[in-house]
Amino acid sequence: QVHIVESGGGLVHPGGSLTLSCAASGPIRTMYTMGWHRQAEGEQREMVATITSSFLTQYADSVKGRFTISRDNSKNTIYLQMNSLKPEDTAVYYCNAVASHEVNGVVQSAWGQGTQVTVSS
């Protein structure tokens, strides 16, 4: 099983910045797409940003130009640089990783437990 751990969440004022980290570990043969998703209270989870093993990225329209996703393949780690934060960015941010198992090569999707980001005055 792949283990996902997120970190870097916290409280920040509107207009501020925050950087999230996500590290994947376990019996991984090949790491494929990784990404960040968020869920605000009372709302459904939404995709924020994804990055493939070839560093191709996708962003939600609401964060494009403000957030940047990056990847370190040697560490199976991704980051999310969040700038110009707004109150509507407040949510629990979850990391997702798609990877194949070292033993049988079966592809699986794993999720972390999330890290809280709160943007408030």
pLDDT digits (tens, 9 = 90+) for 37-51: 999 999 999 999 999
pLDDT digits (tens, 9 = 90+) for 80-120: 999 999 999 999 999 999 999 999 999 999 999 999 999 99
Contact 89, 119 (CB under 8 A): yes
Residue 5 main-chain phi, psi, to 5 deg: -130, 120
Residue 93 bridge partners (DSSP)? 38, 115
Give the separation between CA 72 and CA 67, rounded to whole angstroms.
Answer: 17
pLDDT at 115: 98
Q: Which residues contact 8 (CB under 8 A, 6 or more apart)?
A: 18, 19, 20, 21, 115
